[in-house]
Amino acid sequence: MDQAIALFRIAMPGRGLKLLVPPPLANGSATGVSLSAWRRDAASVRVHSGASAGEAMTLVIDSERAADNEARRRRDCPHCRGVGRYIAARGIRVLCTH
């Protein structure tokens, strides 16, 4: 577990990791694993569930990478600079499509 945490900190600096392993079902079968990566300033976090910790971690990393790419795309937008809307000709407010 310590190695997994160390690798997570290298792969996703500045984020925390929350792991949830529910107890087995009444018939003894496993229920999977849930993970979430979070930042201190985050208003909410996404929880990703998988049949194994590896599957859940892959989902977390893919989701965080997609969120970072979307934030970068919005921030670099020449029209709204990440705000999501801008003022067009004649003072019309327009939602940006990025």
> What residue numbers bound the domain in which 61 lies?
2-95
pLDDT of residue 84: 84
Beta bridge partners of 36: 18
Distance from C-alpha of 79 to C-alpha of 9, rounded to nearest angstrom: 35
Look at the chain and count its residues: 98
Looking at the structure of the chain, the number of domains it has is 1
Reading the chain (98 residues) residue by residue, the pLDDT tens digits are 788 788 888 888 889 999 888 888 888 887 888 999 988 888 888 999 998 888 988 898 899 889 889 888 888 988 888 888 888 888 888 888 87
What is the model's pLDDT at position 48? 92
Q: Return the number of other C-beta atoms located less than 10 Å from residue 48's C-beta.
A: 20
In this prediction, residue 47 carries a pLDDT of 92
